[in-house]
Amino acid sequence: MGSSSSNLNTIPNSQELMQETGFSAAHLLRLYERFEFLDKDNKGHLRPEDFEAVQELSTNPIGDIIIGSFFSPGQETVDFPSFVRILAHFRPAEKNRTRDGAQPEPANSSTGKLKFAFQLYDRDRDGKISREELLQVLRAMLEMQVTEEQLESMAERAIQEADLDEDDAISFDEFKKSLEKVNIDHKMSIHFMK
Amino acid sequence: MAAAAALLLCALLIFSGGPARASEETSEASPAEHEVSGAGNETEGGSAHGEAVITTLPIVSWKWEEVEVPYLVALWILVCWLCKLLIEANHHVTEYIPESALLICCGFILGGMIWGADKVQTFTLTPRVFFFYLLPQIILDAGYSMPNKLFFTNLGGILVYAIIGTCWNAASLGLSLWGCHKGGAMGDIEIGLLQYLLFGSLLAAVDPVAVLAVFEQVHVNEVLFIMVFGESLLNDGVTVVLFNVFDAFVTLGGAKINAAEIVKGIISFFVVAFGGSLLGFVFGLLISLLTRCTKKIQIIEPGFIFVLGYLAYLTAEMLSLSAILSITFCGICCQKYMNSNMDESSVQTVKYAIKVFANGSETMIFVFLGISAIDKTIWVWNTGFILLTLLFIMVYRIMGVFFLTWILNRTRLVPIEFIDQIIMSYGGLRGAVAYGLAVMLDETKIKEKNLMISTTLIVVYFTVIFQGVTLKPLVQWLKVKRASHSELTLIEKLQNRAFEHTLVAIEDISGQIGHNYMRDKWNKFEEKYMSWFLMKPSARKKQDRLFNAFHQLNLKDAMNYVDEGERRGSLEFIRNEGAFIDFKKKFDDEMSEAMPDIMADMSDDHGRAPPKRRDTVPSVSLELHEQSMRGNRAAEDFNSHHLLQQHLYKGRKQHRHRYSRSHFDINKDENEVQEIFQRTMKSRLESFKSGKMGVAPPKTITKHTKKEQQSKMLNGKNRSYLSGDEDFEFSEGDSASGYDASFPTRVAYRAGDGIENPAFMPDVDPSSTMHIPPWLADVELDSVAPSQRAQVRLPWTPGDLRRLSSLRTSVRSSDSFQLTDDRQGDRDELPPPPPPPPRRDGDSV
């Protein structure tokens, strides 16, 4: 696959993508290689099964949820631009780049990162993390060690901690507020190799 | 207080007057050297005693010589600690001046007094005392309380600073001083290039003791802290090697140094640093393994880390490896396993004891650093040499930090900010390690040893006092990110965990092999092999950090709850006190080893496959409790005993105090507890029966339970209850204990799901609960065995949690008790708070 993806021209809309996501050409190429590697039958898009084929993901407790986050609701496939856009959330935020207000918030800002984390929970995309949604994530992460009831009370507790308007759910603002002491840039960035 | 200290000091001086004159020839006498001379004295004294002709029986005799050394040591410890006490009493001073600086100043004063009395400095900090008796515990504490994750995340950066940075400091300082010497800036002194490099190497290392003391009081952000602190710990390996190498080179003389020697020096660095770390690691494993089997000797269990840690230090010293690295890694490695292997109280003991030792000896180090200065014999002034040293240390530290950070920032995920770099350069404090090394220099080889010592002292004072004092304002002025002292919330913990998993997943998806990937691999390995090898099976079960956080939070809430209740002295508190006790105990039970067995049992019983465990143990708070009750009989007895002792048996209380060196004895006499318990239960039950309902033999009740359970399940309330089988077993097994007597009530409670108090039983008209007189409520409480109240699922039900947490988050309600009552009042109208999650659906997804 090396030869087919060795230059940027093979990637559709590469310039726009770089502009939008902030990935360098080298990053983009590398991700494209990865994309093609995951795309076993050269469909040009990925399906959930393609993600599940990644060995390490199967041991990740919230692997399914993360795979789910790559697909917008109702869609079964993800193409390369969307794939890159999702990954762009995890680029380390850069300090010096000032963006004018007209442009949308970049994906790798702390709000962007938080948004991504938020919608990991918010499966039905209603803008709120309900108790049930939180419980699902909790259940995935703690699985064997704890009992259902403990899980429930943990979910209850977590919601209470964050829930300011007492609607028994966590909205994005509440989510953001509850995590304001956490260094999001640090916790939601990975080092993309060139 | 000052008077007392002064008095003590006077006494000390009077006492020390004699021996001091005796050991005048050794200009730097010390407790340690006293030990030698003192031992000599003692034997002489002993023989003298033997020969002394006794004419009559002496009633008392003066035996100063016999106790001299330990007496002086103890007295000095006391004096140093009193200094600290004095300093800390003046809180407004310590806000501006760091404690370490003040302690040094105290040392000046004490030193002045000794000098005034003896005209010679009797007590100085000798390398032996410092390195063997004062330093190890400080480093052990540092290793033991090291935030492991933070440390290893930043390990790369720390190593760069510790190794390259220290080498750079040593080389640049030595060479620059040599250059200035050649340029004639220092007048006529006899120091060669190698000796300059030796001097540079001993001053190169940032001192862990000084850094810790100063940075502890300035709460900078954790990354900055771990960078400076980690560097100060790990650069010891480099310092030791550099010092030894240059020391050897000085002995060999410039002519004999060739490429082979230099290569040997480099090799020795790796051996010393990695050998030391490896040794510490091995000792850490040893501690972990040992604490696996100390259940029977719980009293001395906390001692192992001190003994083995010290042995790690001494062994490394013996093999001329880096002792500091050894004991650091010993602490780092054993902390996790040790803490989960040992009993909770032992862990607390270790935590406190290690701080007592570390803080105590830190105090002594600084005081003695001050005392050591008041000695005419070591002071040689050379303005050029001293000032240039100070200047170069500052300048090269700044250059080194900025250059290395520049390199590091190219690869760091979150770059180190400019301001942080300033603080890092400014935080390059030198301390007692440098002084100890300087004193160790060989006077025959280095003519200007005293100049080096005095320069080192000045550098230490300058960095600790001046930089220490100015660091805090600087941090404030530059608005350095501070450590956030947040109360950890569950959602934060939860989210942090989610972040970790997310990052690993994203790295997997995007095909990167990064930190997260490596960490994930390590964690898996650790969980699989290390924990298996080093942890007790029971301890392995309670590993989940997230759940532990939840546990801690709940405990804290419960604590606050009780405190609040006690403060108000309100009746509600008394009524709910049982809740608190259960709360704690239930967690213990939940986490106990009994858990997996029960789970296994149950899945067998019901012929379900293990993967569905989650499903099979839904209302664990119930069954689990009953099951583990047999296992946890001792705890149970203790609790019931405690409860009874508190409320029932005031008059007849038989408090037996038994002294034992090997146990903290609580009354565990099974018979006695049982007897009291049963008698109480019987009498309570009488009143209970007459007050509530007809009595039925336990077994029929159990069946009754089952039926009622089923009907409850239809209601959707007790969806999670499985069957009455466990009850059945339980009632048979424990029918003698009197627990069974409480079964009927339990059934009722289940119906009232979430009501934590027997007074609020649904079969009693809810509105009438408000009118129960206090004494009755009290009786009610006591009539129920703790085990049984645990079944009421107090802490787990959302409603109760809300009530508990309302104490904490005052947003919800300022008066929690009122809330409780209100809730009680309108319980009927309230819809069941948690919509029962479609558990089975969720599972099938």
- Distance (Å, rounded) from C-alpha B160 to C-alpha B404? 7
Tell me the pLDDT band of B822, cut-offs 50, 70 and 90: very low
Mutate which: B488, B491, B802, vs A, most A CBs within 10 A: B491
Of residues A35, A39, A20, A37, the one with CA closest to residue A91? A20
pLDDT at B605: 39
Of B497, B515, B618, the CB nearest to A147: B618
How does strand A45-46 pair with strand A78-79?
antiparallel
- Is the per-residue pLDDT at B152 higher than 80? yes
Over residues B184-211, the pLDDT tens digits come to 877 777 788 888 888 999 888 888 888 8
Interface size between A and B, measured as CB pairs under 8 A: 194
Calculate what percentage of chain A has a pLDDT beyond 70.
Answer: 85
At residue A66, does pLDDT exceed 70? yes
* CA atoms of B393 and B172, how far apart (whole Å): 9
- Residue ranges of chain A that CATH labels 1.10.238.10: 14-90, 106-194
CATH of domain A106-194: 1.10.238.10
Characterise B669 by phi-psi region: left (phi > 0), alpha (psi -120 to 50), beta (else): beta
What are B743's two structure tokens? 């079964």
Between β-strands A128-130 and A45-46, what pairing exists: parallel, antiparallel or unpaired? unpaired
Query: What phi and psi values does residue B684 have, to the nearest 5 degrees?
Result: -65, -40
Q: What is the pLDDT of residue A161?
A: 78
DSSP one-letter string for A3-41: TTTSSGGGSTTHHHHHHHH---HHHHHHHHHHHHHH-TT
The answer to whether B721 touches B619, Cβ cutoff 8 Å, is yes
Give the dihedral of Cα atoms A16, A21, A25, A27; nearest 10 deg: -150
- Which range in A91-95, B304-308, B343-347, B543-547 is most confidently predicted, on average pLDDT? B304-308
Q: Is B724 helix (H, G, I), strand (E, B) or coil?
A: coil
B741-785 pLDDT, tens digit each? 444 444 434 444 444 444 444 444 444 444 444 454 444 444 444
Cα separation of A21 and A81, whole Å?
Answer: 9
| Bridge partner list, A78 | A46
Residue B97: its pLDDT value, please?
Answer: 86
Confidence of residue A135 (pLDDT cuts 50, 70, 90): confident
Confidence of residue B553 (pLDDT cuts 50, 70, 90): confident
Please write the tens of the pLDDT for every residue from B314-371: 999 999 898 999 999 999 998 888 888 888 888 999 999 999 999 999 999 999 999 9
Give the phi and the psi of residue B429 in degrees, each rounded to 5: -85, 140
- What does the pLDDT read at residue B282? 94
Q: Least CA distance to B596: which residue of chain A?
A: A145
B795 at A interface, C-beta within 8 A: yes
| DSSP code at position B220 | B
Work out the mean pLDDT of chain A and round it to a whole number. 75
Report residue A168 as tokens.
């028994």
Query: Within 10 Å of residue B762's Cβ, how many Cβ atoms?
Result: 16
Determine the CATH number of domain A14-90.
1.10.238.10
Indicate if the alpha-carbon torsion angle B126, B128, B133, B137 is positive or negative.
Answer: positive
Residue from B482, B502, B718 to probe the interface with A (highest A Cβ count within 10 Å): B502
| Higher pLDDT pick, A134 / A99 | A134
Q: What is the pLDDT of residue B728?
A: 41
The reply to whether the predicted model has a pTM over 0.80 is no
Instruction: Kindly provide the ipTM of the predicted complex, given to two decimals.
Output: 0.86
What is d(CA A41, CA A51) in angstroms, rounded to the nearest whole number? 13
What ranges in B54-134 are assigned the alpha helix state H? Answer: 64-89, 91-94, 99-118, 127-128
What's residue B792's pLDDT? 42
Percentage with pLDDT > 70 across chain B: 60
Taking contacts as CB-CB distances below 8 angstroms, the residues of chain A near B503 are: 90, 187-188, 190
Mean pLDDT value of segment B642-656: 51
Return the sign of the alpha-carbon dihedral for residues B70, B74, B79, B84.
Answer: positive
Contact A131 B837 (CB under 8 A): yes
Amino acid, single-letter form, for residue A72? S
Is residue B335 within 8 Å of B148, Cβ to Cβ? yes
Q: CB–CB of A191 and B514 under 8 A?
A: yes
Distance CA B344, CA B587 (A): 14
pLDDT for the residue B799: 45
Burial (CB < 10 A; 0-12, 13-18, 19+), residue B755, is buried
Residues from chain B contacting residue A137 (CB–CB below 8 Å): 494, 498
